Amino acid sequence: MIALIKEPWHWAVAGILIGLTVPMLLLIGNKKLGISSSLRHICAMCIPANIPFFKYEWKKELWNIFFVLGIFLGGFLAMQFLTNPNEIVVAQGTRDSLAKFGITDYSQLMPSQIFSVENIFTLKGFFFFIIGGFLVGFGTRYAGGCTSGHAIMGLSNLQMPSLIATCCFMVGGFFSTNIILPLIFKLL
């Protein structure tokens, strides 16, 4: 049984499970799926300042923090006990495209040529960790939610703002991958 769990599963399994989470949350307590909102709840709990954005009944949203902690705990347990020892399978076309940027190591979940401790205090690390993190955070706040909130929850509820946000996420991702990322690698 453990060998079955360690093997890679088809992507549709995760899609179905995530898709079933939406109606389950709505049926259990009219809760909305979203991950980025948990940061606001944590700040509301921990920041004693008199900031209007953090003045709300965050205790009603405590379930969301436990949900996110469960995601982290599940990821940690999977990494510790269920890691597949084989190299991650990456399509040859993707390998060829990434090789142009010097990315050839697929032994870890994230390419070590970008996401490594050695890169944190380099120009590459500055772009990927600091600038990238800021843009993700800014975009999430500006869009009123993250990709999971809009693309999964918002679209399933047929919300037009979520459709617009999801289209913008996709356009931004395509633009970043095909225009910005090659420029960053040329500069670095």
Assigned domain for 47 exists: yes
The residue-averaged pLDDT of 147-151 equals 83
Assigned domain for 102 exists: no
- Looking at residue 167, its pLDDT comes to 94
Assigned domain for 72 exists: yes
Assigned domain for 164 exists: no
Alpha-carbon gap, residue 134 to 129, rounded angstroms: 8
* pLDDT exceeds 90 at position 117: no
Residue 153: how many CB atoms within 10 A of its CB? 20
Band (pLDDT 50/70/90 cuts) for residue 103 is confident
Give residue 133's identity as a one-letter amino acid code: G
**Structural domains in the chain (count):** 1
- Looking at residue 170, its pLDDT comes to 92
Alpha-carbon gap, residue 22 to 7, rounded angstroms: 26
Assigned domain for 50 exists: yes
Assigned domain for 179 exists: no
Residue 97: how many CB atoms within 10 A of its CB? 14
CB of 25 closer than 8 Å to CB of 156: no
Assigned domain for 184 exists: no
In a 3-state reduction of DSSP, which class is residue 131? helix
Report residue 7 as tokens: 């093997």
Provide the residue range defining the domain that includes 11: 1-86
Assigned domain for 122 exists: no
The residue-averaged pLDDT of 31-58 equals 83
- Looking at residue 33, its pLDDT comes to 77
CB of 188 closer than 8 Å to CB of 127: yes
